[in-house]
């Protein structure tokens, strides 16, 4: 009887410790984890949007327009005015376009995007896509008429270089 008990314990001992040797030979598997950035809370987004609206409303924004496809600005300017969540363009208001409401959208990088559509009668639209990042205002203006051509402009509030001033190379005697 002692021999059977010793034999059973010996087999159990070999099986239990024998599996450790086999575990070392198993292939290691890696588990991929996806790291996602923490999303801003609704309160944080609302605070950033409110701050952006206040910043936009604090001044008139002089913008420099460049026709789509042009390499350099041709010196066209406009003045954008924001009041609360309403936007207007001095040039377009002079051509009969109405002011427009906009909704600020906060991006992951905390820049703020807004879109607005100004109308002039039944056949003219001006569509604005504006981004405010820090003190830089930039975007795209698209002018459409029902049966006419579409004109697209990019703009920024940073003054473009229109041309270089020639440097005199003559020396004074």
**How would you write the pLDDT of the chain (173 residues) with one tens digit per residue?**
555 545 555 555 554 555 444 444 555 566 555 545 568 888 999 999 999 999 999 999 999 999 988 777 777 899 999 998 999 999 999 999 999 999 999 999 999 999 999 999 888 999 999 999 999 999 999 999 988 889 999 999 987 655 443 444 445 44
pLDDT at residue number 14 = 52
Q: Cβ distance 118 to 98 under 8 Å?
A: yes
For residue 8, tell me if it sits in a domain. Answer: no
For residue 113, tell me if it sits in a domain. Answer: yes
Its domain, for residue 97, covers 42-156
For residue 48, tell me if it sits in a domain. Answer: yes
For residue 99, tell me if it sits in a domain. Answer: yes
Count of domains observed in the chain? 1
What's the predicted TM-score (pTM) here? 0.68
For residue 33, tell me if it sits in a domain. Answer: no
Q: Report the candidate in 133, 138, 129 with the shortest Cα–Cα distance to residue 159.
A: 138
| 105: β partners | 113
Q: Report the candidate in 131, 154, 19, 167 with the shortest Cα–Cα distance to residue 76.
A: 154
For residue 132, tell me if it sits in a domain. Answer: yes
Structure tokens at 41: 């809370």
Residue for token pair 């003559």 = 170
For residue 168, tell me if it sits in a domain. Answer: no
Q: Cβ distance 100 to 116 under 8 Å?
A: yes
For residue 63, tell me if it sits in a domain. Answer: yes
């Amino acid at each position: 009887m002692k021999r059977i008990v010793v034999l059973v314990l010996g087999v159990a001992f070999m099986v239990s410790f024998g599996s450790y040797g086999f575990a070392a030979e198993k292939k290691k598997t890696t588990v991929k984890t996806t790291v996602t950035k923490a999303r801003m809370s609704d309160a944080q987004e609302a605070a950033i949007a409110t701050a952006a609206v206040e910043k936009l409303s604090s001044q008139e924004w002089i913008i420099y327009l460049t026709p789509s496809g042009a390499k350099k600005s041709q010196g066209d300017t406009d003045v954008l005015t924001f009041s609360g969540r309403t936007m207007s363009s001095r040039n377009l208001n002079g051509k009969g376009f109405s002011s427009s409401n906009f909704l600020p959208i906060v991006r992951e990088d905390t820049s703020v995007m807004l879109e607005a559509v100004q109308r002039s009668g039944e056949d003219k639209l001006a569509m604005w896509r504006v981004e405010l990042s820090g003190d830089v205002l930039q975007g795209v203006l698209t002018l459409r008429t029902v049966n006419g051509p579409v004109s697209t402009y990019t703009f920024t509030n940073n003054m473009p270089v229109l041309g270089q001033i020639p440097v005199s190379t003559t020396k004074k005697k």
